């Protein structure tokens, strides 16, 4: 027991594990995630419908999207942005996600609304396409869940998929948010209202901060009668300078930054949105 608790609460080396696929692809968890995405009152997995409406309107106006435009949404989930962009008349709308459950929902919604949206199931870090896109999106701070090595793969991909005058719109957690994070440890039965499993379980949650890297980790060790597993939820926090440096290695640069993807003027807060283009 001593050894097991020691292991469950040990602080791992920064970015040493990656379990995002488990988090999004497990059947029970995927269902829980989808209901979080679709809950109009919660801003946990997706933002609220009013926010997404405003965001889609802003993206279309800001980037002059029309029937000749091509957009590509990384981690599109249930298609809340793709659906709106297509309904606003964007020509080619593509969504990528590795959650089959969320993509099935997105496809159903598109069929019902008679919208020709292209959805691809799979890890977006492996996606390739010969087309060039006018707008690439990665929303809900998803970049923050990727390690530096994964970000490098993603930025190389962005560079090759971006049209000459195209833009990448994404949001991230800020260094200012990081200063408010602290370390903690908890043990709770069926934590998060049964989020992790349909069976009874115990959850040991350890939250760690990595001061030099501006990274936080929520490590969940979930034990039920027949199995135990661990989920690592890493979050990178950024300054504009940090992100600019990483992008420059791939010939990309920040063209503008805002408070969020509704185009609100930048003020210091927990999140910021950036518009990226070719250098
Ligand atoms: C926080 S949700 C945001 C969903 C959507 N962008 C929104 O705002 O409604 C993150 C989404 O990214 C997907 N995702 C995360 N990492 C991925 C990867 N490496 N490849 C494909 N999809 C990924 C998840 O399945 C999930 O649907």
Please tell me the total number of residues recorded for the chain in this structure: 279
Residue 102 CB less than 6 A away from ligand 1: yes
Confidence (pLDDT) at 21:
77
Ligand 1 within 6 A of CB of 83? no
Under the banding of pLDDT at 50, 70 and 90, the label for residue 10 is very high
**Helical packing angle, 148-161 and 240-248, nearest 10°:** 60
Kindly report the protein residue whose alpha carbon is nearest to atom 13 of ligand 1.
75
Q: How sure is the predictor about 130, in pLDDT bands with cuts at 50, 70 and 90?
A: very high
Is the pLDDT reported for residue 24 higher than 90? no
From atom 10 of ligand 1, which residue's Cα is the shortest distance away? 75
Q: Give the CA-trace dihedral at 137, 141, 147, 148, to 10 degrees.
A: 60
Nearest atom of ligand 1 to the alpha carbon of 75: 12
From the CA of 77, give the closest atom in ligand 1: 27
User: Distance (Å, rounded) from C-alpha 148 to C-alpha 41?
Assistant: 33
In this prediction the pTM is 0.96
The dihedral built from the CA positions of residue 227, 195, 8 and 75, taken in this order, carries a sign that is positive
Residue 139 Cα to ligand 1 midpoint, Å, equals 8
Q: Is residue 72 within 6 Å of ligand 1 at its C-beta?
A: no
Pocket-testing residue among 43, 55, 75, 121, ligand 1, by greatest number of atoms within 8 A of Cβ: 75
What pLDDT does 279 receive? 97
Tell me, using a 6 A CB cutoff, whether residue 138 lines ligand 1. Answer: no
Q: Which of 120, 42, 38 is nearest to 76 (CA)?
A: 120
Identify the band that residue 37 occupies on the pLDDT scale cut at 50, 70 and 90.
confident
Write the pLDDT tens digit of every residue in 78-112. 999 999 999 999 999 999 999 899 999 999 999 99
């Amino acid at each position: 027991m001593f050894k097991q608790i020691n292991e469950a609460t040990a602080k791992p080396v920064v970015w040493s594990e990656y379990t995002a696929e488990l988090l999004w692809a497990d059947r029970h968890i995927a269902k829980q995630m989808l209901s979080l995405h679709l809950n109009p009152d919660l801003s946990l997995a997706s933002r609220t419908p009013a926010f997404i409406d405003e965001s889609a309107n802003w993206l279309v106006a800001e980037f002059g999207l029309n029937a000749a435009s091509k957009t590509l949404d990384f981690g599109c989930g249930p298609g809340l942005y793709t659906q709106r962009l297509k309904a606003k008349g964007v020509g080619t709308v593509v969504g990528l996600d590795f959650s089959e459950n969320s993509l099935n929902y997105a496809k159903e919604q598109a069929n019902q609304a008679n919208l020709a949206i292209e959805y691809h199931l799979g890890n977006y870090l492996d996606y390739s396409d010969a087309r060039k896109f006018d707008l690439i999106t990665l929303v809900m701070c998803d970049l923050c869940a990727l390690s530096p090595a994964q970000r490098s793969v993603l930025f190389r991909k962005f560079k090759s998929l971006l049209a000459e005058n195209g833009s990448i719109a994404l949001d991230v957690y800020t260094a200012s948010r990081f200063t408010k994070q602290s370390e903690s440890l908890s043990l709770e039965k069926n934590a998060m209202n049964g989020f992790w499993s349909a069976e009874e379980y115990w959850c040991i949650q350890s939250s760690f901060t990595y001061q030099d890297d501006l990274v936080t980790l929520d490590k969940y060790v979930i034990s039920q009668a027949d199995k135990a597993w661990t989920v690592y939820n890493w979050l990178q926090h950024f300054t504009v300078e940090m992100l600019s440096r990483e992008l420059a290695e791939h010939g990309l640069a920040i063209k503008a930054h805002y408070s969020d993807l509704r185009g609100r003027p930048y003020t210091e807060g927990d999140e910021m949105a950036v518009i990226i283009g070719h250098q």
